[in-house]
Amino acid sequence: MMQQVIEVKGLTKHFKNITAVDDLSFSVSEGDVYGFLGQNGAGKSTTIRMLLTLISPTSGNIKLFGMPLQLHRREILQKVGAVVEKPDVYKYLSAYDNLKLFARLSGVKISEQKLMQQLEMVGLTARAKDKVQTYSQGMKQRLGIAIALVHDPSLIILDEPTNGLDPQGIADIRNLILHLSKEQKKTIVVSSHLLSEIEQVATKILIIDKGKKIIEGESAQLFDPSQTVVELTTMDNIFSLQQLEQSIWQKNIQPQRENVLVLKLDKKLIPQLHRDLVSMNIEVLSLQPRHSLEDYFLQVTSGNQHVDTFTN
């Protein structure tokens, strides 16, 4: 059985009267490339900062490598490499000096040869001794990743790693993530507000909006064109839910929010669902299939807020 590298339960963060993360629960297994998706301000960075102890949660539990984060912070962070938002480093130092400095902070002594290998992996060897203030955004991003990897962590957390990059830079980061996952068997959490970026690398995806979980599941299932998500509005949702829970549709029910019931099912089963709803005396106001995850995500990110939570 795969070890749970990250286990988050009921994570909540309030900033004065703003709820940035709201009762969020998810888990990441060893070897996953976990795509953390949501529009800007959805709560991705706040969640990632809580995973890295930069922000204290208002409530909820975080376990990394099976250990409570607050109690084993130091031990846990030795196994974690991260780039949080912009990869800011000391601009008055060279890439080599920055890497050496952060390697020492991570508690590892690394030879010059190994440091140069790390820089080679992110394509910075030629500029290794130049001051970072002369670097492009893409080069800084790659240096940030080299710093995250310098102590050979088993969990890598990359918050919006492709922000501000040109198409070639985005492709380079994508290839690096795939390399780290497949060749070095790292567990990776990567956040983005672009579905197109996440779907190419992630094995599992979590979409959040306004700090709440929207959907979580295996990429293969979420992107399966035969599967769809159905939003159901009825006259009496409590009665409808009771009926559905006692029917063959019980396994398709996803957590609901506000006034919408959500079911995940094969597209071909929609007519049968329709018939069964009638036979169960459920008075349907609307039954709306979402054709794909992208369709659904676009709807969420376009600000149409009648979409509700459902999980795999």
Who contacts 311 (Cβ-Cβ below 8 Å, separation ≥6)? Answer: 213, 215, 216, 217, 254, 255
**Closest to another protein by CB, 5 or 82:** 82
Tell me how far, at minimum, the Cβ of 160 lies from another protein, in Å: 13
Minimal distance in Å, beta carbon 94 to another protein?
Answer: 10
User: Shortest approach of another protein to residue 116 CB, angstroms?
Assistant: 20
Helix, strand, coil % over all residues of the chain, rounded to 5: 35, 30, 35
Q: Write down the least CB distance from residue 87 to another protein, Å.
A: 8
State the nearest-atom distance from the C-beta of 156 to another protein, in Å.
11
Smallest distance from another protein to CB 81, Å: 8
Classify each residue of 164-181 as buried b or exposed e, where b means 16 or more C-beta atoms within 10 Å of its C-beta.
Answer: ebeeebbebbbebbeebb
Which of 5, 21, 33, 82 is in the footprint of another protein by CB under 8 A? 82
Q: What residues from 87 to 126 belong to the interface with another protein (CB under 8 A)?
A: 87-93, 97, 101-102, 104-107
Q: Is residue 74 at the binding interface for another protein, with CB under 8 A as the rule?
A: yes
Work out which of 21, 84, 262, 293 binds another protein, going by CB under 8 A. Answer: 84
Question: Please, are residues 124 and 97 in contact by the beta-carbon 8 Å criterion?
Answer: no
> Would you say 214 and 207 are in contact if contact means Cβ atoms under 8 Å apart?
yes
Q: Binding another protein by CB under 8 A: which of 12, 14, 29, 86?
A: 86
Number of amino acids touching another protein (CB under 8 A): 32
Among 6, 34, 38, 49, binds another protein (CB under 8 A): 49
Q: Does 53 bind another protein (CB under 8 A)?
A: yes
Give the residue, chosen from 17, 56, 111, 113, that forms a contact with another protein under the rule CB under 8 A.
56
Binding part of the chain for another protein, among 1-9, 54-62, 201-209, 220-228 by CB under 8 A, reads 54-62
Q: 3-class DSSP state for residue 300?
A: helix
User: What does the per-residue mask of binding to another protein show for 140-169, with x meaning CB under 8 A?
Assistant: ----x--x----------------------
* Shortest distance (Å) from residue 85 CB to another protein: 8
Pairing of strands 212-218, 204-209: antiparallel
- Take residue 268 and report the two structure tokens written for it: 């071909």
- For the chain, report the end-to-end CA distance as a whole number of angstroms: 19
DSSP three-state, residue 145: helix
CA dihedral 122, 127, 132, 138 (to 10 degrees): -40
The residue (of 85 and 294) whose beta carbon lies closer to another protein is 85
| Sheet-wide strand order for 59-64 | 18-29, 4-15, 59-64, 67-68
At 80, which amino acid appears?
V
Query: Is 55 among the residues that bind another protein (CB under 8 A)?
Result: yes
> Please, what is the angle between helix 137-149 and helix 112-121, to 10°?
130
Smallest separation (angstroms) from another protein to the CB of 92: 6
Q: Which is nearer to another protein, 150 or 195 (CB)?
A: 150
Strands (DSSP E) found in 160-258: 187-192, 204-209, 212-218, 227-234, 253-257
**Residue ranges in contact with another protein by CB under 8 A:** 49, 52-56, 73-75, 77-78, 80, 82, 84-93, 97, 101-102, 104-107, 144, 147
